[in-house]
Amino acid sequence: MAWSTRELADLAGTTVNTIRHYHRLKLMGQPERRYNGYKQYGVRDLVRLLRIRRLAELGVPLSRIGEVSTGGEGTPDALRELDAELAAGMERLRRARADIAAILRENSPADAPAGFASIASHLSDSDSSIIHIYTQLYDEDAMADLRRMVEVDAEAGVVGEEINALPTEADDATRQRLAERLAPTLVKNLIEYPWLQDPARHLSKSEHVTQETFIEAVVELYNSAQLDVLTRAGMLAQEQLRAGGVNAEASAEALSLLNLTPF
């Protein structure tokens, strides 16, 4: 029995172009040709094609199918590596499904930062934007703590809305009042999350990249009055901690994490 390329493709549940691609990669040898020049495939070609398709279904990259199909010494390692990649992919899918469920349950924006769906409605566009940036600068433990800080302060309904609405021309008295209202929250978080005083071990990028990105982000996302309030609140928080006998020297980047919590 001899099959044409199209007939072979139909039998294997694939396409003519796929078979041609396998020939180019030398995963399949060139078949014999009929008197008219057309290729003719036999049973061995069909079996070879089905074996290639099976390995591809398992997720083996085409570049490694030749190695794996021969059953050489590297086959177990290749399969273990593939299994680890599949496990990681399944975990990504599990997280994506959990995130989608939370987004639907909370009716939050689909592009809310991961893990923040339940409180996305309490975040201004600027806060949501900077949290997205922080996911690239801080590790998962730091972001988990930030979520807890935001959740607690969102439930308390603190000064976030007023700071979000603060116009650039806000007077000094208004700025100071908001800073004084915000400072106790910063004090609480500096005490509960001591690593904020030295966040270096929680950085995903270098300190230089983090600082540079932080400066660019806050200047772009917050107006001068809001930045003034956040700076004043951070200074007040550290003064209050020192007055209470607590040594707190949080970096500007760490204070920016703190300053997000009531928004």
What is the pLDDT averaged over residues 92-110?
Answer: 91
CB 153 within 8 A of CB 160: yes
- Residue 260: pLDDT band with limits 50, 70, 90: very low
Do 201 and 78 belong together in one domain?
no
**In this structure, what DSSP letter does residue 32 have?**
E
CB 190 within 8 A of CB 233: no
The 10s digit of each residue's pLDDT in 161-200 is 888 889 999 999 999 999 999 888 888 888 888 888 788 8
What is the pLDDT averaged over residues 34-58?
Answer: 90
Q: Write down the H helix ranges in the chain.
A: 5-12, 16-24, 43-58, 62-69, 75-106, 125-137, 140-156, 160-164, 172-192, 207-221, 224-243, 252-260
Do 242 and 119 belong together in one domain?
yes
Do 88 and 127 belong together in one domain?
no
Do 203 and 230 belong together in one domain?
yes
Do 92 and 129 belong together in one domain?
no
**In this structure, what DSSP letter does residue 1 have?**
-
Do 137 and 184 belong together in one domain?
yes
In this structure, what CATH number is given to the domain that contains residue 60?
1.10.1660.10
The 10s digit of each residue's pLDDT in 207-250 is 899 889 988 998 899 999 999 998 899 889 888 888 877 665 55
What's the predicted TM-score (pTM) here? 0.67
Do 148 and 100 belong together in one domain?
no
The set of residues, in sequence order, having a beta carbon less than 8 Å from that of 58 and lying 6+ positions away, is 82
Do 151 and 91 belong together in one domain?
no
What the block records as the tokens of 20 is 């041609």
Do 255 and 209 belong together in one domain?
yes
Read off the amino acid at residue 260. Answer: L
Do 208 and 120 belong together in one domain?
yes
Give the closest residue to 189 by CA, choosing from 225, 230, 234.
234
How far apart, in Å, are the Cα atoms of 184 and each of 141, 176, 181?
23, 13, 7
Number of domains in the chain: 3
Which residue range forms the structural domain that includes residue 149? 112-260
How far apart, in Å, are the Cα atoms of 225 and each of 77, 176, 238, 250?
58, 10, 20, 21
CA pair distance 148, 140, nearest whole angstrom: 12
Do 92 and 131 belong together in one domain?
no
Do 194 and 122 belong together in one domain?
yes
